[in-house]
Structure 1
Amino acid sequence: MAAAAAKSRNPFPIIISVVVVVAVVAVAVLVYFMNRTASEPAQAPAAGVVNEETGAIAIGEGDQSVDEYIDFMCPHCGDAWDAYGDTTAELVEDGTITFNIHPISILDRSSQGTEYSTRAANSVYCVAEEDGDAAYSYVDLLFRNQPSQGSPGLDDDELIGYAEQVGAGGAADCITNREYGDFVAERTQEVPLAPGQTNVSTPTVVVNGEVVPPTMDPDVDIRANLN
């Protein structure tokens, strides 16, 4: 009887049960916080020229809008920047449009593992946060020095060098730390599809809310679609 009583008072099964319950609760709490963190929006740049919801970097204050979704590894985006540049600059200066630049990353796979598209897009947001007035000039520099698709792209030191050229040298740490990489990834998921397309492409040009197939003719793609 004494042996049976001693056996019934064995604390180990109880301890094991408590440990298992605590472990299950701990895992549940961890999963909860991981899911909560994953569902929270990425940090947006603290820059007045950046729309936190759309990621657009706004140039000008016109009532009409021209949006360009660009990947800095995309050669056609460089062609579009060259083709539309004079026209968009003129329309911004005369107050006709707000020119919205959307840096995105769909070609990370084409930079030999360096994720250049994300790094370059992140750097644009870093510059915009440091000095909103420098953002346009910085984007222009990136396209004037655009690497070939399939190359490693510009390294971080080169990106920082161009940021310094436009007066945004304070963006260096942000560029190195890829501060807005998650923000770039989120905005990339929101690129509008052209009619009849099932995949995102760059450049994507949107005039007054309507996606325009880019012909690289600014009179056809932009001016003809303004009110």
Structure 2
Amino acid sequence: MNEAPPPAHTPTRGERRAEAREKARVLRESQRKKERRTLWIVQGSIAVVVVAIIAVVALVLTNSVRPEGDGPLNMASDGIKIGQNFEAVATPSRPAGARPIPSEPNPAGVVEIQVFVDYLCPRCAEFDAENGELIRTLIESGAATVEYHPLSTLTNLSAGTRYSLRSANAAACVANYAPNRYLDFHEALFVNQPEEGTPGLTDEELVELAARAGVDASTVTLNAVEQCVDDLRFRDWVQAATERALEGPLPISDTSVESISGTPAVFVNGDLFEFRYPFEQSEFSQFVLEAAGAEFATNPTPTPTPSP
């Protein structure tokens, strides 16, 4: 005979109240967790938005309040002008993106020679080898000034090392810290010019050339040049100056030429020297005489004068 199951337990009033309170507690805890998750999500989203706003504001301020020292000293015209005693004309630095200011015109009878170069450009080196001594003679005698504009038109032709850009930056570093040694450094860069398609000179070798060109190693000057070369300090300026030369207008007074198409680009008193290749000093000498005209012929200082 089977025994009947015990009767089911009927919760007392107190037990029902306790159970209800527990359910309510669990529900409240679940609701609080949900609210905390929602708060965390909202706070996280706000933080991301705030960080993004700060980044945008910082970028705007950085671009709108750029320091006035982006470009090198003594190259306000995007070039460095060298006159008698081989001394550079001092000019203030300008922002990298600022439009260049043409150099002050020479006195009557003093020829203005301007040369746009890329220190990886073989023909630039050949022009300098053929005519550099003539230009030196004209400067020394007071018959001319020369203004060199370093560009980076061949940056992609140095096995990934950007030698064209690095060498132009090194030239700007020398112009900034040791401007009166620029002409010697300019010539050293061409004498030691690497071939296109090779890595080119290292930064250390560029600094060594600067030292050999007379940048004083006994002072902080050479150290400053070395840091400037290592940091590619004037990279933005070199790139901007290159674009300006290729797009125009050129920072040359009294020229009808809007822009250059390649290097070397040589101007005498604003007239473009349309050279034949290979270079001959007699051709450039004749062009200088023709561009200078009667003023050059009557200038008492140019001794010796260039021979046609």
TM-score range, shorter chain: 0.7 to 0.9
Between the two structures, name the one with larger relative contact order (CA 8 Å, sep ≥ 6): 1
Does the C-alpha gap of structure 1 residues 119 and 21 become closer, same or farther in structure 2, counting only changes over 3 Å? closer
Does the C-alpha gap of structure 1 residues 222 and 179 become closer, same or farther in structure 2, counting only changes over 3 Å? same
Report the alpha carbon displacement of residue 109 of structure 1 after superposing the two structures with TM: 0.2
- Which amino acid in 1 is paired with 2:138? L
**Counterpart of 1:151?**
198
Q: TM-score, normalised by structure 1?
A: 0.80
Does the C-alpha gap of structure 1 residues 75 and 197 become closer, same or farther in structure 2, counting only changes over 3 Å? farther
> Which residue of 43, 50, 62 maps to 2:70?
43
- Which amino acid in 1 is paired with 2:80? I
**Counterpart of 1:96?**
143
Q: Secondary structure at the match of 1:191?
A: helix
Gap regions ≥5 residues in structure 2: 1-27, 85-105, 251-255, 294-308
Residue 55, structure 1, aligned to residue 78, structure 2: yes
Report the alpha carbon displacement of residue 157 of structure 1 after superposing the two structures with TM: 1.5
- Which amino acid in 2 is paired with 1:111? S
Aligned partners of 1:115 and 1:163: how far apart in 2? 19
Aligned partners of 1:71 and 1:119: how far apart in 2? 11
> Which residue of 109, 113, 116 maps to 1:69?
116
Aligned partners of 2:240 and 2:69: how far apart in 1? 7
Q: Secondary structure at the match of 1:102?
A: strand
Report the alpha carbon displacement of residue 73 of structure 1 after superposing the two structures with TM: 0.6
1:70 and 1:104 in contact (8 A); partners too: yes
Residue 128, structure 1, aligned to residue 175, structure 2: yes
> Which residue of 165, 169, 174 maps to 1:118?
165
- Which amino acid in 1 is paired with 2:227? D
Report the alpha carbon displacement of residue 79 of structure 1 after superposing the two structures with TM: 0.9
Aligned partners of 1:65 and 1:186: how far apart in 2? 24
Query: % of aligned pairs identical?
Result: 27
Aligned length: 216
2:245 and 2:260 in contact (8 A); partners too: no
Aligned partners of 1:161 and 1:17: how far apart in 2? 54
Task: Using the TM superposition, name which of 106-115 and 55-64 deviates more.
Answer: 55-64
1:42 and 1:186 in contact (8 A); partners too: no
Aligned partners of 2:257 and 2:182: how far apart in 1? 33
**Counterpart of 2:226?**
172
Q: Superposition pairs for residues 7-18 of structure 1, below 5 Å?
A: 12=39
Report the alpha carbon displacement of residue 210 of structure 1 after superposing the two structures with TM: 2.8
Report the alpha carbon displacement of residue 102 of structure 1 after superposing the two structures with TM: 0.8
**Counterpart of 2:54?**
26
Does the C-alpha gap of structure 1 residues 32 and 129 become closer, same or farther in structure 2, counting only changes over 3 Å? closer
Task: Using the TM superposition, name which of 196-205 and 114-123 deviates more.
Answer: 196-205
Bigger Rg over Cα: 2
Aligned partners of 1:159 and 1:21: how far apart in 2? 46
Does the C-alpha gap of structure 1 residues 78 and 20 become closer, same or farther in structure 2, counting only changes over 3 Å? closer
Does the C-alpha gap of structure 1 residues 182 and 196 become closer, same or farther in structure 2, counting only changes over 3 Å? closer
Aligned partners of 2:194 and 2:243: how far apart in 1? 24
**Counterpart of 1:79?**
126
